[in-house]
Amino acid sequence: MPKPKKHHFVPQMLLNRFAFDGYLWHLSIEREEQLRRARPREIGHVKGGHTLTRLDGTRDHESLEQAMSSIEGEASAAIRGIEADSAMAVVPRELAEPLAWLASLQSARSRALLGYIASEVHISKDADPFADTVGDIQSSLLRVAVMSVLETWFIRNDELARPKDQWDFVTHQLLGMRWDVMRYPDRSLAVSDAFAAQFGIREDAQGVFDRDPLGAMYGMNTPLWAAKGVTVALTPRLALNLHHGETRRVAAAAAVNMHTIRSARSFIAFPTDMDPDDVLPGWMDWIIGAKAIRAALPKSL
């Protein structure tokens, strides 16, 4: 079997759900590119992006991909379960859990986040003093960020494991919210590299942190526990609205798209049966804002 070369940091199983006749409209947030038609396998990936360097200097292209597929597979099954039950208003715990874990994984393997961390230690992938060793910047960051999520995932149900070793911050915070299901009559939702799009600041948020309302609009500078909410687009007609309230909160399709686009750091995509001339004018302010935020951040890894 050939080793995978295109390592997707956004699962193809998610992108496939937004495709129409096998294609998506793709618009880059981090590069100046024209809107284009693309297959799901052609977007949301980095060549060798999940490759690890072993102690002996050889490259492991598959281990991380195989491990992450465990979370992606269960999350895909959860989406199917939500789709199949048209009466479901609130996502039950057993379906929310794999999606919360996928959100944690997506956060950990964000190429924008990894690029930001690399910039903070003043190392780039193109000028890495540890290149071709087990300590190269990509391998080091993937082991710290991604493998920590995976290790916790694989022992989450182990009765012999210590509770602190089974605890994942992002998953814990998301599962503490109410998960309302949003269903729309028309195919109207976009998808981006931001699987779980955080937004706003809770009015009752306690604790010490610098409140940045503008940054919070773009999913930045606010702890997850202090966020007003999180939206998750699952298909062009299906989304989740996560919040800390006790009663149902409706999120219009436009609001879900706003959060999806504002939180994007790499790209946005939408089905090719949605006419760009119809949807892009209404999204343009969000796209311009997302591009401005992205331009101010370090280059993706």
The residue ranges of the chain whose pLDDT is under 70 are: 1-4
What residues contact residue 227 under an 8 Å CB cut-off, 6+ apart? 198, 199, 200, 201, 202, 216
DSSP state of 142: I
pTM summary value: 0.95
Angle, in degrees to the nearest 10, between helices 93-108 and 147-154: 160
Per residue in 183-213, pLDDT (tens digit) is 999 999 999 999 999 999 998 887 778 899 9
Distances (CA, A) of 15 to 19, 58, 139, 182, 191: 7, 31, 26, 19, 7
CA-based Rg of the chain, rounded to a whole angstrom? Answer: 19
Distances (CA, A) of 119 to 51, 116, 127, 164: 20, 5, 11, 30
At 126 the pLDDT is 82
Q: State the CB neighbour count (10 A cutoff) for residue 99.
A: 27
The span from the CA of 298 to the CA of 279, in Å, is 29
At 1 the pLDDT is 45
Distances (CA, A) of 86 to 80, 97, 184, 238, 257: 11, 20, 11, 10, 22
Structure tokens at 238: 């299906």
Half-sphere exposure of 13 (CA within 13 A, CB side): 15
Give the residue ranges of DSSP H helices in the chain. 12-18, 63-84, 93-108, 111-120, 137-141, 147-154, 169-175, 213-217, 253-262, 276-296
Structure tokens at 69: 């597929």
Per residue in 75-85, pLDDT (tens digit) is 999 999 999 99
The span from the CA of 280 to the CA of 90, in Å, is 31
Cβ burial, residue 207 (10 Å; 0-12/13-18/19+): exposed
Domain boundaries, the chain: 6-296
The span from the CA of 111 to the CA of 98, in Å, is 22
Give the helix, strand, coil percentages of the chain, each rounded to 5: 40, 15, 40
The span from the CA of 191 to the CA of 27, in Å, is 11
At 210 the pLDDT is 87
